[in-house]
Each structure stands twice: as C-alpha cells, then as structure tokens.
C-alpha cells in the first residue's frame, strides 16, 4: 500500500529482478479473496529495483533518506497494534539529499532466511513483504510489496500407520487404520474401517478433515476449527465383520503444511475426524492428528546453497545426517 498526501511529489514502484520468470501462486487475503503473488522459498535471494518517479520532473524533491526493508511479520487480529517481526533486514538506497529527476535504485537481500510458510487464517496472518520508504520531514512516502513463501520438506522413510479404536462397552467396537500418519498436501489418504461389534443401529458414517488454528498463549488462547473436507463412508447399517475401504484425495482442498508453535504465536494442525450417527441421531466421533507437509521432488540445481540452509533447519532431520537437497514444489 502507498500513502500519499498533499505536497508529496514522488511515487514508488518495486520491480523484482526475475519477475518475468518467477512463478506466481494464489494466496488468500485477509478479506477472503485470492490474489497472485511471486513465490519464494527459504534461502532464496530477493533482489530488484526501486523506481522513484517524480511527479514534477525538474523540481527539487528533498528527502531524509531512501531505504528498502525485507520483513517477515506475524499479526494477531485481536492484537492489531503489535506486529511481531521475525525477519527484519534493511538496505539504505540513498542518503539524505534531493532528487531533481526520477531515479532507479538496485537492492539485493542475499540468501534470505524465510523460516515459515505464508499464512492467512481466522485470527492470524503471517506475511513477507518489501517496504520501501522515502523519509521526509512532514510525511514519509511508503510502499509495501508482498511475496508468498512456501516451505518444502523431505520426510524420512519412517512413516508409521495409524490404528485406532472406537468403542461403547457391549454396544460398539470399531477399528480403523490409515496407511500413514504424514501426508503431503496433494496426497491420498488410504485406510480401512473394521466393524468388530455392532449392537446399535448405525445409519450414517463420515470422515472429515478438520483444521485447528490456535493463537495466543496462557489464558488468552483462541481455537478456531474449520472443516476442510467431508467424505461419506457409509449410508446404512453395517454388520459385524464388515470392512469399509477409505480413499480421500487431498489435492482438491486448500490446505497448508502443519505449522507447530510458529514463533511461539500460533499453530495450525490437521485432524482426521471419524463420525458415526445412529438412528436416534446420536453422534459418536474420534479424532486423530495427521501431519501435512509440502512435497518437493524436482531438484533445483541453481539453489544448492539455499537448499542446504533449508534442509539443516528441517526439524525432523536426525543429528549427523547429511541434509538432502531442497526440491521444487510438485507442480501437479
């Protein structure tokens, strides 16, 4: 956003160096709409040009300095006065002085650490942006340019299955099993439900994915649950010994990777929610947390340095293990 008032006589435009080739992705804004932004990964350099255009060329334009900042910031909607910055880098483009004609300034933030994924939720927003500021005695001129960051992960081969039981003594005993506990966000959840004891009349069964956003700490903790997907497993009464297969495709839903205790401000977790409804409309349910991650599978040779940085920070990497190359997000 740019802020202009009477008497200011310059406009700011920011152009990234690789704007013509860099991928853009859709990202939800605070008002629920979607806009397209340039996509970056952890460790990538952010560079470009700042164009300062004078509205009245030839006339003196005095300023107290020109700078560009790269900022990673968390904003809690219930505490909008406080912005929590976890990345803050500054490049001075010009010392105090004056301009008599439009001018272009180059900037570069090399191998920038971007530890978290961009996120817009119900109560919190995590964003990365460039803020260009022309300092003036009366009113500064400022422009913010947002980018989107995706975090890529390579999970170890060990990915245990999930086995759980749902039971009411002497009435109902169900076991359900999912093929693994960690899924990439375009994965397929495969499972099976076994009916070991059925003495109540079940008329309907469904499985859902619930996103739980948690913000705040201590007594000021807020939980927001959002049903991302709902899938009908069965319509009718099962019998003892029956088994029902489950296949739930995640690619059709909008989900982020699991985000745990991000900068000690918020978390985003996902749960499989199994719901049974009997003929008297009583509901029985069981939840199980799953871990979602963003898959990378095409190695980008040009990013070997950045890849090493990102891999070393991956929380699941055992100490002493050689970090794997960062990979490009699956384009499918």
pLDDT score of 156: 61
Which carries the bigger pLDDT value, residue 56 or residue 257?
A: 257
83-115, pLDDT tens digit by residue?
899 999 999 999 999 998 999 999 999 999 999
Residue 85 near residue 75, CB atoms below 8 Å? no
CA atoms of 127 and 90, how far apart (whole Å) = 17
pLDDT score of 313: 43
Q: Is the pLDDT of residue 316 over 80?
A: no
How do strand 97-99 and strand 61-63 relate by DSSP bridges?
Answer: antiparallel
Q: How confident is the model at residue 306 (pLDDT cuts 50, 70, 90)?
A: very low
pLDDT score of 332: 44
Residues linked to residue 270 through DSSP beta bridges, in sequence order: 211, 290
pLDDT score of 197: 77
CA atoms of 125 and 112, how far apart (whole Å) = 20
160-175, pLDDT tens digit by residue?
888 877 777 777 788 8
Would you state the structure tokens that stand for residue 155, as one six-digit string? 């999970």
Q: How many CB atoms lie within 10 A of CB 4?
A: 15
Q: Is the pLDDT of residue 35 over 70?
A: yes
CA atoms of 226 and 209, how far apart (whole Å) = 9
246-288, pLDDT tens digit by residue?
899 999 898 999 999 999 999 999 999 988 888 888 888 888 9
Can you give the pTM of this predicted structure?
A: 0.81
Which carries the bigger pLDDT value, residue 301 or residue 162?
A: 162
Of the CA atoms within 13 Å of residue 131, those in its CB half-sphere come to: 17
pLDDT score of 41: 95
Q: Is the pLDDT of residue 305 over 60?
A: no
Q: Is the pLDDT of residue 329 over 60?
A: no
Q: Is the pLDDT of residue 325 over 60?
A: no
Highest mean pLDDT among 17-21, 283-287, 305-309 belongs to: 17-21
Angstrom distances, CA of residue 275 to CA of 55, 209, 218, 230, 245: 63, 11, 31, 10, 15
Average pLDDT, the chain: 83
Q: Work out the percent of the chain whose per-residue pLDDT is above 90.
A: 49
CA atoms of 265 and 76, how far apart (whole Å) = 8
Q: How confident is the model at residue 240 (pLDDT cuts 50, 70, 90)?
A: confident
Q: Please identify which residue in the block is written with the tokens 């483009």.
A: 93
pLDDT score of 299: 40
194-234, pLDDT tens digit by residue?
888 777 777 888 889 999 999 987 778 899 999 998 888 87
The mean pLDDT of 18-41, rounded to a whole number, is 92
pLDDT score of 149: 96
Q: Is the pLDDT of residue 297 over 80?
A: no
Q: How confident is the model at residue 29 (pLDDT cuts 50, 70, 90)?
A: confident
């Amino acid at each position: 956003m740019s802020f202009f008032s009477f008497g200011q006589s310059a406009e700011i435009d920011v152009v990234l160096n690789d704007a013509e080739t860099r991928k853009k992705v859709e990202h939800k804004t605070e008002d629920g709409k979607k806009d397209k932004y340039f996509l970056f990964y952890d460790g990538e350099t952010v560079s470009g040009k700042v164009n300062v255009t004078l509205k009245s060329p030839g006339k003196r334009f005095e300023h107290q300095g020109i700078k560009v900042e790269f900022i990673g910031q968390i904003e809690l909607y219930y505490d909008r006065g406080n912005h929590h910055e976890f990345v803050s880098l500054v490049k001075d483009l010009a010392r105090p002085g004056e301009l008599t004609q439009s001018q272009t300034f180059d900037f570069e933030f090399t191998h920038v650490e971007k530890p978290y994924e961009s996120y817009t939720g119900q109560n919190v927003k995590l964003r990365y942006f460039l803020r260009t500021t022309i300092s003036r005695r009366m009113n500064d001129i400022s422009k913010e340019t947002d980018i989107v960051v995706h975090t890529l992960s390579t999970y170890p081969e060990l990915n245990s299955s999930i086995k759980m039981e749902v039971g009411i003594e002497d009435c109902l005993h169900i076991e359900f099993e999912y093929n693994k506990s960690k899924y990439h966000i375009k994965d397929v959840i495969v499972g099976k439900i076994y009916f070991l004891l059925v003495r109540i009349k079940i008329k309907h069964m469904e499985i859902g994915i619930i996103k739980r956003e948690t913000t705040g700490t201590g007594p000021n903790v807020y939980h927001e649950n959002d049903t991302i997907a709902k899938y009908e497993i069965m319509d009718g009464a099962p019998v003892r010994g029956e088994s029902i297969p489950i296949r739930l495709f995640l690619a059709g839903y909008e989900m982020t990777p699991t985000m745990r205790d991000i900068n000690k401000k918020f978390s985003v977790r996902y749960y499989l929610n199994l719901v049974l409804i009997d003929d008297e409309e009583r509901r029985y349910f069981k939840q199980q947390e799953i871990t979602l991650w963003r898959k990378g599978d095409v190695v980008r040779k040009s990013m070997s340095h950045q890849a090493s940085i990102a891999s070393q920070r991956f929380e699941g990497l055992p100490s002493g293990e050689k970090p794997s190359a960062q990979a490009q997000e699956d384009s499918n």
